[in-house]
Amino acid sequence: MTTTPASHRVAAIQMVSGDSLQANLDAASRLVAEAAWRGAQLVALPEYFYLMPADEPRRVALAEPFGDGPIQRHLTGLARTHRVWLIGGTVPLQSLAPGRIYNSSLLFDPQGECAARYDKVHLFGFHHGEQHYDEAATMCAGREPVVASTPLGRLKLSVCYDLRFPEFYRLPPAPELIAAPAAFTRTTGEAHWELLLRARAVENLAYVIAAGQGGEHPGGKQTFGHSMIVDPWGKVLDCVASGEGIALADIDLALQAELRCRLPALSHRVFP
């Protein structure tokens, strides 16, 4: 795979994180190193890459102050060592609410500096039979969308459940890239994951980089995987179905500009 002057290689890392912080950090290190070795300039880790415990309060216990903590230091080191733009999946950041955290996606530049922070706005809730999820019980919702400037274009940060809210992605400025680290459940993933990713790509004529969890986790939780990179026309460029792996693709900004010129849907919007 070779890049052209207008293209940039990106990677979506798929993990099957468990309940050991160190083991998960080690796995992330290995996979980011491989992605960088394969030429990726921007690498995305999945939501909760650092921990997928059976007991949710264990995640809350790892909450860090923004700008410091072992998870953030680890991400800083990875970005700096491999000279990549790194989307650190999500990181548990402290809030003022007792027993609750922000589920935050942090973007690091190749010098290891945090270039952007996005606190997940839409908190997942799902109830079906024995499956019960209520992120609001342990998380605080963010309030602001975030678009970061990178050499690959404007990058919209989002997380998992955000994908179900198309209006969130249509807020200006229009991004060239959308990041969607996730831990989609197997039930909802089988039904909607690829559909949502491709819809967000087509609606926004943007590349979507979706790094997910893909397997069975402590407590019997099952995530859908299928980490993928989708182009602005809705084509899946690469996908990892299950288990650990790396979805890798070249994004062509010249092609994207051509598509936006050919089909100027973003400028044809009537309603904000």
Q: List C-alpha distances in Å: 132 to 32, 79, 137, 190.
A: 32, 35, 12, 17
Name the catalytic one among 114, 140, 156, 160.
160
Q: Report which of 230, 219, 168 is spatially closest to residue 193, judged by C-alpha positions.
A: 230
212, 215, 68, 38: CA torsion to nearest 10: -60
120 catalytically annotated: yes
47 catalytically annotated: yes
Name the catalytic one among 47, 114, 156, 239.
47
| Dihedral sign for Cα atoms in the order 140, 112, 28, 234 | positive
3-state helix, strand, coil in the chain (%, to 5): 30, 30, 40
Q: Three-class SS of residue 257?
A: helix
Angstrom distance (rounded) from CA 52 to CA 103 = 13
160 catalytically annotated: yes
Q: How far does CA 215 lie from the centroid of its chain?
A: 17
Angle of CA points 135, 141, 142, to nearest 5°? 145
Name the catalytic one among 114, 120, 156, 176.
120
Angstrom distance (rounded) from CA 236 to CA 255 = 15
Angstrom distance (rounded) from CA 220 to CA 10 = 31
Catalytically active residues, by annotation: 47, 120, 160
